[in-house]
Amino acid sequence: MSTPVPAPPRRRLIRLAGALVVLLTLVTATACSSAVDDLKTSSGERKEGGVLRVGALQDIVPARIFTNSSDSINVLIGSVYDSLIDYPRDSLEPQPSLATTWQLSDDGKQLTLQLRDDVKFHSGRPFTSKDVEFSIKTWADPAWTVQLQRTAAAITGFDTSDEHAITLTFAHPLSNIFDLLDMLPIIDRDTIDQLREGKAFVGTGPFEFDAWSPGAKISFKRNDAYWRGKPALDGIEVSVIPDPQAQVAQLRSHQLDLILGASYRDFESLGKDDQFHVNQWAGAEGQVYVGTNVTNPALSDIRVRQAIAYALDRERVVDEVLRGAGVPISAPWPDYSPAYDEKANATYDYDLDQAKKLVDEAKADGVAIPKLPLTYPSENPIYGAIAQIVQADLAKVGIEVELDPQEQAQVIQQLIGAKFPALWILSHGYANWTPSTLAVSAYPFNAEHNASLYVDKDYQAIADKVWNQKPGAVDPADYATLSKALLDGSFLLEIAITLPQDASSTQVHDIGQTKRGEPIFYDTYLTK
Amino acid sequence: MTLDVSLEEPLSPVPVGPVPGDLAPERRDSLLHALRHGRGLVGVVLVATVVVLGVLGPLVAPYGPTEQIKGANLLGPGAGHWLGTDELNRDILSRTLYGIRVDLVVVFAAVPVGAAAGVFLGLVTSWWTVTDVIAQRAFDLLLAFPALILGILLTAFLGPGVLTVGVVIVALEIPVFGRLVRTSVRTVREMPFVEASQVVGAGPWWVLRRHVLPNSLEPLTVQLAVSMSVAVFIEGAMSFLGLGVRPPHPSLGSLIKDGVRLLHEAPFFAVGPLAVVVALVLGLLLISQSLAEARRA
């Protein structure tokens, strides 16, 4: 009988390692299939409470808490705060919220609002007209760099003699006053210093701020004393996950219930999977655009800017990047806006010959066009894809572009401070609101000071004209003039309307969204 | 009477030819033999294939690396596009061939530069105690940073790009090679033939050049192959994290990153670049293993 020869130690080690790999693979496969089986066997029965796990691309920045500049900020504002009125997503008809009724004076210079008397802040303090005054004055403070600062600053008088009513007096009629009242969160004056430091966010909304770990997590708990009634969820936990692909993976592996930041292609793919819902929020549109710094020597020539506008292949962006969840545009307005004009919207239809002709003319007149940096946020994949399409098209007409991906926070800082060196790609909102809001308030458009550093008396005049009128009283011809001023100036080159999307597991129900793009979880519930 | 003689060279020059401690010719032959047979040969073939593909890339690529082909959105592998196309309608095969060139620059430029700098620093500092202590603490500092952390740190100053990847790799290789040479210096300088050289007047530079460096070549060669494979990983990881080559230019790491992003929609996307990275890393590791074994033998 022969004794088996023991395998050499190295070979034994390799065998052991192999066995371990097989074992680990089996365990992982079992665990994964268990998670998937859990999902497939969900009963659909409503679950009491529960915490909604949300994936967001960007963290909050307390100093920019009122700027709607990140998805985490949108969750925070939508969950913690209420506004005086709410716009439905599909119209500009104000609906009651903290204000129950309102009366605008005949000359459009005074607005009286009746306020709810059963509302308390999360601190337990009752909500009063003084809080409305404080919130509006906070927005009027340029330190907060909010986009409707000019509208808030045009409110010059506050009658708060009644705790549950307030009369606002305006410097002039404000066509977009209800836009402000919808966007303005009512904030707690006692904790404003803590808000600045990111230590406390106290409002009257359905969820209370619980904790914030910068760069990682923000959590909220249910406000049991919410004036609309107790929300269904126990809380919300927002994880900051800057990689969209990681968000998708975590949703697929059931580590997240809802993701806010994925590419349209990912949403398209998730939509084909019956384990996920993809929501598309019409009425909360954004607009993706190419911005130009008109003080850049090459871009100061209108022909170069118009050439870029002609060279934007909007149809391709909508088809290939937005996967159909958008509309190509030259002017910012969606088709239901009072300023929408189909003909104006086709002003800069894709025309490379015309673009090249304009570039050649400019160069013949001595305009030097060096390689221009094109800045865009690196976190969101749609910007990178659009930037590369724009770069390829501009190269065809003789404009060389160097891509400059940066973090979203840096890009927003440059937007607010008007610090972009040449070109940038970003999204703006507000075109789905009263048109004057865009022209006098949005960072990229504000006629007094915009991110393009574009100054034009005609543009300023028409922006003021459509702003200084009673709501709903603006002549459509004035809107046509405003559109013409925007298109003639070509300082901001629209690419497409984008329809916001998010994706959730099928165990999440009744997510909402404001016109501002803030997710609403008041009605949201989970199923088993 | 004063004896005015420079002691940088020995009083009696050592005869030309192998000196004690030099690599014997048969040892050199065995290293070459290792690369011509077995694993070494497989490694050489794999690396050579990737190098040839990279060098000839512009000649054989059917499209430009950033060329966006109308209507070719995320096509699967086929006759027109052997590895398919990406979400921006670019031919993945062409991008892979151009992407190889970035890795070749990193592997065959940054690693040797880092190695040369490390060897030089290791040689000149480890002979004397004071410089040795200073250099070793500096190496400790560099080695304390994991590669990617160092990459992120340097990217903050230099911005993303292939130059930054190169600088990171050079910075990582300097202490690795410096330490390796130091070990040789401290071993060899105690040997009798070195002491004998010094007795007959050889200066440190002469000893380092004639005795220490030749004795370090074998481990350095092995380490060079290992470092090259690590460099491919570092380029890939940095590009994967967006710290490497800037879009729209391709590198193997950025191609894999794009492929992973589209894994559900286009699982074929990452296969080509991944295969090249595997071939390059595997080839370099096989070379280093065969060299190491030949050395031990």
Task: Report cis status (omega within 30 of 0) of the bond before B248.
Answer: yes
According to the model, what pLDDT value does residue B26 have?
Answer: 59
Residue-wise pLDDT tens digits, A349-371: 999 999 999 999 999 999 999 99
* pLDDT for residue A7: 47
Residue of chain A with shortest Cα separation from B161: A404
**CATH code at B25-64+83-296:** 1.10.3720.10
Q: How far apart are the C-alpha atoms of B107 and B165, rounded to whole Å?
A: 11
In the structure encoding, which two tokens stand for residue B183, read together? Answer: 């070990």
CATH 3.90.76.10 residue ranges of chain A are 82-194
Q: Give residue-wise pLDDT tens across range B3-54.
A: 444 445 555 544 444 455 555 555 667 777 777 888 899 999 999 999 999 9
Average pLDDT over residues A55-63: 91
- Confidence at residue A398, expressed as pLDDT on a 0 to 100 scale: 96
Cα angle value B140/B143/B147 (rounded, 5°)? 160
Q: Looking at the complex, does the CB of residue A261 fall below 8 Å from at least one CB of chain B?
A: no
B260 closest CB neighbour out of A245, A378, A392:
A245
Q: How far is B247 from chain A (nearest CA, A)?
A: 7
Per DSSP, which regions of A79-147 are E strands?
85-86, 95-96, 99-104, 110-115
| Angle, CA A320 vertex, CA A319 and CA A324 arms, to 5° | 35
Q: In the structure, what pLDDT confidence band is assigned to residue A309 with cuts at 50, 70 and 90? A: very high
Q: What phi and psi values does residue A232 have, to the nearest 5 degrees?
A: -75, -35
Cβ-defined contact of A265 to B262 (cutoff 8 Å): yes
Q: In this complex, do A320 and B262 lie within 8 Å of one another by their Cβ atoms?
A: no
Q: Name the token pair of B176.
A: 């690795």
DSSP B56: H
**Given a cut of 50, is residue B92 above it in pLDDT?**
yes
**A171 in reach of chain B (CB within 8 A):** no
Domain boundaries, chain B: 25-64+83-296
Q: What are phi and psi of B85, to 5 degrees?
A: -130, 165
First CA to last CA distance, chain A: 63
Asked if A500 and A286 count as a contact pair (C-beta separation under 8 A), the reply is: yes
Whether residue A265 and residue B87 make contact (CB cut-off 8 A), yes or no, is yes
Which residue in the set A244, A320, A405 is minimally distant from B87, CB to CB?
A320
pLDDT band at A34 (very low <50, low <70, confident <90, very high): very low
Q: How large a percentage of chain A has pLDDT more than 70?
A: 92
Rounded to whole angstroms, how far apart are CA atoms A137 and A189?
11
Of B160, B248, B264, the CB nearest to A269: B264
Place of tokens 């993706």: A288
Which residues from B are below 8 Å from A253, CB to CB? none
Residue A307 has pLDDT above 50, yes or no: yes
How would you label A484-505 residue by residue, b for 16+ Cβ within 10 Å and e otherwise? Answer: bbbbebbbbbbbbbbbbbbbbb
Strand, coil or helix: B272: helix
Of A65-69, A72-76, A383-387, A475-479, minimum mean pLDDT range:
A65-69
> In the structure, what pLDDT confidence band is assigned to residue A22 with cuts at 50, 70 and 90?
low
Q: CA nearest A247 in B: which residue?
A: B261
* Average confidence (pLDDT) over B87-105: 93
Nearest CA in chain A to B240: A243
Residue B160, sorted as left (phi over 0), alpha (psi -120 to 50) or beta, turns out to be beta
**H helix intervals, B69-161:** 92-105, 111-126, 129-144, 147-158
Q: For A186, how many CA atoms within 13 A lie in the half-sphere containing its CB?
A: 26
DSSP strand pairing (A217-222 vs A207-213): antiparallel
pLDDT on residue B2: 44
DSSP state of A512: E
CB contact under 8 A, A320 and B73: yes
Question: Across the interface, do B265 and A391 touch by the CB < 8 Å criterion?
Answer: no
pLDDT at A107: 95
A435-444, A457-466, B9-18, B135-144 — which one is most confidently predicted on average? A457-466
Our CA-based measurement puts residue A315 at a distance from the nearest CA of chain B, in whole angstroms, of 12
What is the average per-residue pLDDT within B228-257?
86
Q: Which of A263, A269, A403 sits opposite B246 (nearest CB)?
A: A403
pLDDT level of residue A40 (50, 70, 90 thresholds): very low
Which of A269, A381, A387 is closest, CB to CB, to B265?
A: A269
Q: Closest Cα of chain B to A95: distance in Å?
A: 42
Helices (H) and strands (E) in chain A, counts: 17, 24
- CB contact residues (below 8 A), chain A span 268-297, against chain B: 269
Q: Is A378 on the interface with B (CB under 8 A)?
A: yes
Strands A51-56 and A258-259: parallel
Which of B88, B248, B261 shows the shortest C-beta gap to A403? B248
In which band, very low, low, confident or very high, does the pLDDT at A267 lie, cut at 50, 70 and 90? very high
Is there a contact between A233 and A51 (Cβ–Cβ < 8 Å)?
yes
* A213 phi, psi to nearest 5 deg: -105, 105
When mean pLDDT is compared across A233-237, B66-70, B254-258, the lowest value belongs to B254-258
- Tokens, residue A253: 């592996």
Instruction: Using an 8 Å CB-CB cutoff, list chain B residues near A391.
Output: 248
Query: What is the CATH code for A82-194?
Result: 3.90.76.10
Per-residue pLDDT, A201: 96
Q: Where in chain A is the domain with CATH 3.40.190.10?
A: 46-62+205-283+501-527
Helix H or strand E segment including A246: helix A244-252
* CA atoms of A144 and A154, how far apart (whole Å): 16
Distance separating alpha carbons of residues A73 and A279, to the nearest angstrom:
19
Per-residue pLDDT at A203: 97
* Most confident of the following: A450-459, B24-33, B252-261: A450-459
> Which of the residues B87, B258, B269 would you substitute to probe the A interface, choosing the one with the greatest number of A C-beta atoms within 10 Å?
B87
pLDDT at position B58 is: 92
Task: Report the interhelical angle of B252-261 vs B213-240 (nearest 10°).
Answer: 30
Top residue of B67, B68, B260 to mutate, by most chain A CBs within 10 Å, is B68
- pLDDT at position A31 is 43
| DSSP 3-state of A210 | strand
- Amino acid identity of residue A310, one-letter, is Y
Mutate to test the interface with A, among B66, B75, B88, B89 (most CBs of A within 10 A): B88
Closest Cβ opposite residue B242 in set A320, A388, A405:
A405
Digit-coded pLDDT (tens) for A148-193: 999 999 999 999 999 999 999 999 999 999 999 999 999 999 999 9
Higher pLDDT, residue B218 or A525: A525
Looking at the domain that runs over A286-498, which CATH code has it been given? 3.10.105.10
Nearest-by-Cβ selection for A391 from B87, B248, B264: B248
Average pLDDT, chain B: 85
Q: Which of A265, A266, A388 sits opposite B247 (nearest CB)?
A: A388
pLDDT tens digits, one per residue of A102-148: 999 999 999 999 999 999 999 999 999 999 999 999 999 999 888 89
* C-alpha neighbours within 13 Å on the C-beta side of residue A489: 29
Q: What are φ and ψ of residue A217, in 5° steps? A: -150, 145
Q: Quick one: angle between helices B111-126 and B162-188, nearest 10?
A: 30
The number of C-beta contacts closer than 8 angstroms across A and B is 39
Question: Given an 8 Å threshold on Cβ–Cβ distance, is B248 in contact with A392?
Answer: yes
* Cβ-based burial of A416 (10 A; exposed 0-12, middle 13-18, buried ≥19): middle
pLDDT at A484 (0 to 100): 96
- pLDDT value of residue B27: 60
* B19 C-beta neighbours (distance < 10 Å), count: 13
pLDDT tens across B61-91, in order? 999 999 999 989 889 999 999 999 998 999 9
The rounded distance, in Å, linking the Cα atoms of B145 and B153 is 10
Burial (CB < 10 A; 0-12, 13-18, 19+), residue A11, is: exposed
Q: Which backbone phi and psi does A124 adopt, to 5 degrees?
A: 100, -10
Find chain B residues with C-beta within 8 A of A265's C-beta. Answer: 87, 262, 265
A405 touches chain B (CB under 8 A): yes
Cβ distance of A391 and B264 shorter than 8 Å: no
Q: How far apart are CA B255 and CA B261, in angstroms?
A: 10
pLDDT mean over A85-106? 95
pLDDT at B28: 61
CA angle A43–A47–A48, rounded 5-degree value: 165
Average pLDDT, chain A: 91
The pLDDT score that the predictor gives to residue B12 is 53
As a whole number of angstroms, the distance between CA A278 and CA A259 comes to 10
Query: For A386, which residue in chain B has the nearest alpha carbon?
Result: B88
B164: left (phi > 0), else alpha (psi -120 to 50), else beta? alpha
User: What DSSP letter does each residue of B9-41 carry, written as one string?
Assistant: S-SSPPPSS--TTSPPHHHHHHHHHHHHSHHHH
Q: Is the pLDDT of residue A74 over 80?
A: yes
Position A28 scores a pLDDT of 44
Type of residue at A489: G
- Name every residue in B having a CB less than 8 A away from some CB of A: 66, 68, 73, 87-89, 160, 242, 246-248, 260-262, 264-265
Query: CA quadruple A247, A248, A253, A256: dihedral positive or negative?
Result: positive
Residue B88, min C-alpha distance to chain A (Å):
7
CA angle B168, B110, B222 (to 5 degrees): 105
Q: Positive or negative, the Cα torsion across B140, B130, B117, B20?
A: negative
H, E, C per residue of A43-73: CCCEECCCEEEEEECCCCCHHHCCCCCCHHH
Environment class of B193 (CB within 10 Å of its CB; exposed 0-12, middle 13-18, buried 19+): middle
Strand segments (E) across A228-316:
235-240, 258-259, 276-280, 286-292
Q: Provide the pLDDT for residue A3.
A: 44
- C-beta atoms of A265 and B260 within 8 A: no
How would DSSP label each residue in B209-271? IIIIHHHHHHHHHHHHHHHHHHHHHHHHHHHHTTSSSPTTS--HHHHHHHHHHTTTT-TTTTH
Token reading at A424: 């940038």
Beta bridge partners of residue A401, listed in sequence order = A372
The confidence score (pLDDT) of residue A233 equals 97
Residues 6+ apart with CB under 8 A from A361: A303
CB-CB: which of B68, B160, B265 is closest to A265? B265
Q: Which of A239-243, A263-267, B142-146 has the lowest mean pLDDT?
A: B142-146
CA distance A438 to A432: 9
| Element holding A393 (H helix, E strand) | helix A381-396
A46-62+205-283+501-527: CATH topology is D-Maltodextrin-Binding Protein; domain 2 (3.40.190)
